């Protein structure tokens, strides 16, 4: 962990206004914010650890648990909602054995919702590992997930 | 063959990219690489529903739903046969007619594209494309021909109002910043487009990033700033990438950095990635977030123009506001003021989505009516359904009914109707959309996004959401409707920032125009749109041919009936996922949704 964090810190000056970009870089490296990293970020930016937690918990982007190897993000934007996003989420979660959003125990899948992917013309849509799939119905979700979700 | 050089434009906006347009571009380049036909990619062309889109210039031949395997046919038509590929033509949903050129497609011909002038026409990762299209001429004029006061005066006279939704006079804002004391000032671009159902800013950033950079640089010159920030949400990776490319190219060409174009004026821009908080679209929260804090709005005054980022005078405008600036400087304030209505000048960009035939990105003069936008440009309602309402302004806006279809759209008319312009989301709702559920959806959003600073917003939205949840799930009580109204009104007056002040709008506007739907849920145990699970049941009519498609797809094994036999649904087992309704062949179409019947039906 130390080396990865050092490499990240070396790109910054340790100023308070860098907390968000630092958190983003750490999460990019680990897929989440490990507990140990929080204290080190606090030291590096010379603020109390509570402040780092305060910032990290405020923003939806940050998470404190590891994600699955495949991340399925179901869009819950307005256009997607009126074209059936709730059913898409339900089906996606059901197919990997989850009740709703969450990560499977084997860390194979994380199913999450996002506010809006921004391709509303393709509603309802989801992304699997950053690749967008649009104009979905339940049947297509099944096909997608059967194809390995990759 | 004509002597004119042909260019193939492959749309690589987010919509088309997700439909594999990069592969199409590669295939076309492979086919045409050796010829004199140029293949290039562009940002969003706007008609996302028809994507992936390929356009042949100069004719303007418009190919829709292009697939990788169509590349050889398209190449062949250009190189050998000179016959366009008719099967890829756009088919008008209203008339079923094939249209060859996009100039003739109503979706485009009825628009006035200023902000979107270059989107879909230039390569956003190539600065010379932007310059060839007249780009950076506004900046040159601002640097060498106009004094800062003249720039501000021009923006003021143009009548441009903030495109982020607030609608404050842009020129007045600039004037405050210009007059504010201080050696250090900042120019900030708000690209934290968080409204669900809106993608205007994203498309501009992805399709024409230099227009935003140019607008910001002109602003910096006008107010005397040397540093700018673009606050862009991290959920828009493509927009961030294209901005980075654009900034690097602008620095290289001397449009950004020190001594811009030899004028002695210095200005540079940095990108700050937002981390997923809707409230950061509020100006004070946005600046507090750049400073590395929880993005919670603060009280105003002081306004950012006096004390903004790091306590310095700061000019903060939306992406589309900046994209208008270079045009105003280049073409003059009077030209701009000639477009639009008396109090709202210029154009409005809308992300037209929902139950509409042609979803996409459109731009019309202020004062266009929803009917023109939805029926003439948007091609009407999807699948011939009946129009119910149009939602504007995202979670801060409201739902407007059919009677509003002919009211000219501008900042003031929308507020009067109980909605607002917002940054430009326009979601069309049809007869199958439950208005109570839509209101619940938006409250669910704002309740989660409330920063928690003001009690009425933090707790009030929670209460409203709980009540709406109850109504949608069949636990509505007679007094609920009045409670919602009372709560909504007190949240509006008791909140500090725009989020709380407008959060009740979706509920209040649906109560104003669609009260009967609330009453049907609460008093009649019925969802008129047949959408809320608690109030509906699925039934198979005797037109069923017994194809078993629904039975195979049913996730709860609730459909009974053998091959070529009438099927029926075991209501005990059915969990109303609606997949049978989805898969029943359109020719047969024997699934019916009923509402208002007793549960055992």
Smallest Cβ–Cβ distance between A82 and the set B19, B235, B355 belongs to: B355
Q: B275 and A62 in contact by Cβ < 8 A?
A: yes
Percent with pLDDT over 70 in chain B: 99
Which residue, B271, B279, B116, B273, is CA-closest to B195?
A: B279
The model's pLDDT over A76-114, given as tens digits with 9 standing for 90+, comes to: 888 899 889 999 999 999 999 999 999 999 999 999 998
Whole-model pTM: value is 0.93
Smallest Cβ–Cβ distance between A24 and the set B234, B394, B579 belongs to: B234
User: With contact defined as beta carbons under 8 Å apart, do B145 and B75 qualify?
Assistant: no
Which of helix, strand or coil describes residue B19? coil
Q: Measuring CA to CA, how many Å separate B360 from each of B48, B88, B351, B426?
A: 5, 19, 6, 10
The model's pLDDT over B34-90, given as tens digits with 9 standing for 90+, comes to: 888 999 999 998 898 888 999 999 999 999 999 999 999 999 999 988 889 999 999
Which residue, B176, B232, B165, is CA-closest to B205?
A: B232
Nearest CA in chain A to B273: A21
The model's pLDDT over B409-454, given as tens digits with 9 standing for 90+, comes to: 999 999 898 888 887 889 999 999 999 999 999 999 999 999 999 9
Q: How far is A123 from chain B (nearest CA, A)?
A: 8
CA dihedral B537, B543, B549, B551 (to 10 degrees): 50
**What rounded mean pLDDT belongs to chain B?**
93
Quote the CA–CA distance of B576 and B558 in Å, as a whole number: 10
Quote the CA–CA distance of B297 and B498 in Å, as a whole number: 9
The model's pLDDT over B498-508, given as tens digits with 9 standing for 90+, comes to: 999 999 999 99
Which of B235, B277, B388 is best to mutate for the A interface (most A CBs within 10 A)?
B235
Mean pLDDT for A110-129 is 87
What phi and psi values does residue B39 have, to the nearest 5 degrees?
Answer: -110, 120
- Helical axes B505-513 vs B515-524, angle rounded to 10°: 80
The model's pLDDT over B118-162, given as tens digits with 9 standing for 90+, comes to: 999 999 999 999 999 999 999 999 999 999 999 999 999 999 999
Mean pLDDT for A130-149 is 85
Quote the CA–CA distance of B21 and A149 in Å, as a whole number: 21
The model's pLDDT over A51-85, given as tens digits with 9 standing for 90+, comes to: 999 999 999 999 999 999 999 999 988 889 988 99
Percent with pLDDT over 70 in chain A: 98
Query: Sheet holding A131-133: strands in order across?
Result: A102-103, A109-114, A70-75, A126-128, A131-133
Instruction: Provide the pLDDT for residue B1.
Output: 46
Whose tokens are 């099944």? That residue is: A142
Which residues of A fall within a CB distance of 8 Å from B583? 139
Which residue, B391, B402, B435, is CA-closest to B527?
A: B435
Q: B235 and A119 in contact by Cβ < 8 A?
A: no
Q: How many CB atoms lie within 10 A of CB B217?
A: 30
The model's pLDDT over B6-40, given as tens digits with 9 standing for 90+, comes to: 899 999 988 888 888 999 999 999 999 888 899 99
Quote the CA–CA distance of A87 and B24 in Å, as a whole number: 31
Q: Is the pLDDT of residue B600 over 70?
A: no
Instruction: Provide the pLDDT for residue A150.
Output: 46
Greater model confidence, B181 or B195:
B181
What phi and psi values does residue B61 have, to the nearest 5 degrees?
Answer: -60, 130
**Size of the A and B interface in Cβ pairs below 8 Å:** 148
Which residues of B fall within a CB distance of 8 Å from A137? 582
- What the block records as the tokens of A65 is 């648990």
Q: A20 and B197 in contact by Cβ < 8 A?
A: no
Mean pLDDT for B206-217 is 97
Whose tokens are 């006279």? That residue is: B157
Q: What is the DSSP string of B193-257?
A: ---TT--HHHHHHHH-HHHHHHHHHHHHHHHT-SEEEEEEETT-HHHHHHHHHHHHHHHHTTSSB
Mean pLDDT for B312-325 is 97
Instruction: Provide the pLDDT for residue B283.
Output: 95
Q: B441 and A78 in contact by Cβ < 8 A?
A: yes
Q: How far is B21 from chain A (nearest CA, A)?
A: 12
Q: B438 and A82 in contact by Cβ < 8 A?
A: yes
Which residues of A fall within a CB distance of 8 Å from B445? 115
Quote the CA–CA distance of B163 and B142 in Å, as a whole number: 22
Instruction: Provide the pLDDT for residue B3.
Output: 54
The model's pLDDT over B371-419, given as tens digits with 9 standing for 90+, comes to: 999 999 999 999 889 999 999 998 989 999 999 999 999 999 998 988 8
Quote the CA–CA distance of A64 and A26 in Å, as a whole number: 11
């Amino acid at each position: 962990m130390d080396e990865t964090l050092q490499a990240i810190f070396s790109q910054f000056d340790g100023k308070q206004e860098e907390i968000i970009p630092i958190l983003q870089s750490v999460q990019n490296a680990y897929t989440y914010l490990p507990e140990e990293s929080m204290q080190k970020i606090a030291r590096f930016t010379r603020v109390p650890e509570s402040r780092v937690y305060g910032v990290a918990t405020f923003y939806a982007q940050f998470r404190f648990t590891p994600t699955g190897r495949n991340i399925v993000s179901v869009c819950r934007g307005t256009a997607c909602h009126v074209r059936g996003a709730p059913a898409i989420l339900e089906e996606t979660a059901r197919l990997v054995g989850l009740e709703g959003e969450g990560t499977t125990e084997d860390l194979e899948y994380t199913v999450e919702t996002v506010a809006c992917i921004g391709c509303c013309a393709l509603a309802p849509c989801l992304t699997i590992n950053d690749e967008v799939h649009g104009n979905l119905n339940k049947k297509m979700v099944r096909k997608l997930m059967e194809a390995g979700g990759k | 063959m004509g002597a004119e050089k042909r260019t193939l434009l492959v749309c690589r906006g987010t919509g088309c990219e997700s439909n594999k347009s990069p592969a199409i571009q590669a295939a076309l380049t492979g086919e045409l690489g050796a010829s004199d036909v140029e293949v290039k990619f562009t940002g969003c062309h706007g008609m996302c529903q028809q994507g992936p889109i390929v356009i042949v210039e100069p004719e303007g031949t418009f190919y829709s739903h292009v697939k990788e395997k169509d590349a050889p046919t398209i190449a062949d038509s250009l190189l050998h046969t000179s016959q366009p590929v008719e099967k890829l033509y756009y088919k008008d949903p209203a008339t079923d007619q094939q249209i060859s050129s996009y100039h003739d497609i109503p979706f485009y011909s009825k628009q006035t594209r200023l902000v979107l002038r270059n989107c879909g026409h230039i390569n956003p990762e190539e600065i010379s494309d932007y310059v060839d299209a007249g780009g950076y001429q506004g900046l040159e004029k601002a640097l060498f021909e106009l004094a800062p006061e003249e720039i501000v005066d021009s923006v003021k006279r143009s009548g441009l109002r903030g495109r982020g939704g607030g609608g404050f006079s842009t020129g007045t804002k600039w004037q405050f910043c210009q007059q504010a004391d201080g050696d250090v000032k900042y120019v900030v671009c708000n690209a934290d487009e968080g409204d669900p159902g809106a993608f205007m800013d994203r498309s501009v950033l992805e399709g024409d990033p230099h227009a935003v950079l140019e607008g910001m640089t002109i602003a910096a010159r006008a107010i005397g700033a040397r540093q700018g920030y673009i606050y862009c949400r991290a959920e828009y990776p493509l927009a961030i990438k294209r901005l980075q490319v654009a900034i690097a190219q602008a620095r290289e060409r001397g449009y950004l950095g020190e001594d811009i174009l030899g004028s002695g004026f210095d200005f540079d821009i940095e990108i700050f990635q937002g981390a997923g908080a809707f409230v950061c679209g509020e100006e004070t929260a946005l600046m507090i977030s750049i400073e590395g804090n929880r993005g919670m709005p603060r009280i105003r005054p002081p306004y950012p123009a006096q004390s903004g980022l790091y306590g310095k005078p700061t000019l903060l405008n939306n992406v589309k506001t900046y994209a208008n600036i270079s045009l105003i400087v280049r073409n003059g304030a009077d030209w701009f003021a000639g477009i639009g209505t008396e109090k709202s000048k210029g154009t409005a960009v809308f992300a037209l989505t929902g139950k509409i035939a042609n979803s996409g990105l459109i731009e019309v003069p202020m004062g266009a009516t929803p009917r023109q936008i939805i029926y003439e440009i948007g091609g009407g309602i999807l699948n011939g359904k009946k129009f119910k309402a149009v939602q504007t302004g995202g979670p801060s806006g409201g739902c407007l009914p059919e009677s509003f279809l002919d009211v000219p759209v501008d900042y003031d008319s929308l507020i009067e109707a109980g909605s607002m312009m917002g940054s430009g989301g326009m979601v069309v709702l049809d007869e199958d959309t439950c208005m109570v559920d839509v209101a619940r959806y938006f409250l669910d959003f704002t309740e989660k996004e409330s920063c928690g600073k003001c009690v009425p917003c933090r707790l009030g939205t929670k209460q409203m959401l709980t009540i709406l949840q109850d109504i949608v799930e069949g636990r509505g009580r007679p007094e609920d409707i009045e409670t919602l109204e009372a709560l909504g009104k007190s949240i509006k007056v008791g909140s500090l920032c725009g989020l709380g002040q407008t959060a009740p709008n979706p509920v209040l506007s649906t109560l104003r125009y669609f009260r009967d739907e609330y009453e049907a849920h609460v008093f009649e145990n019925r969802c008129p749109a047949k959408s809320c699970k608690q109030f509906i049941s699925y039934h198979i009519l005797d037109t069923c041919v017994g194809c078993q498609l629904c039975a195979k797809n049913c996730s709860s094994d609730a459909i009974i009936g053998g091959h070529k036999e009438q099927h029926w649904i075991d209501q005990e087992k059915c969990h109303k996922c609606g997949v049978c309704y989805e898969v029943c062949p359109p020719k047969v179409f024997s699934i019916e949704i009923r509402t208002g019947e007793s549960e055992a039906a």
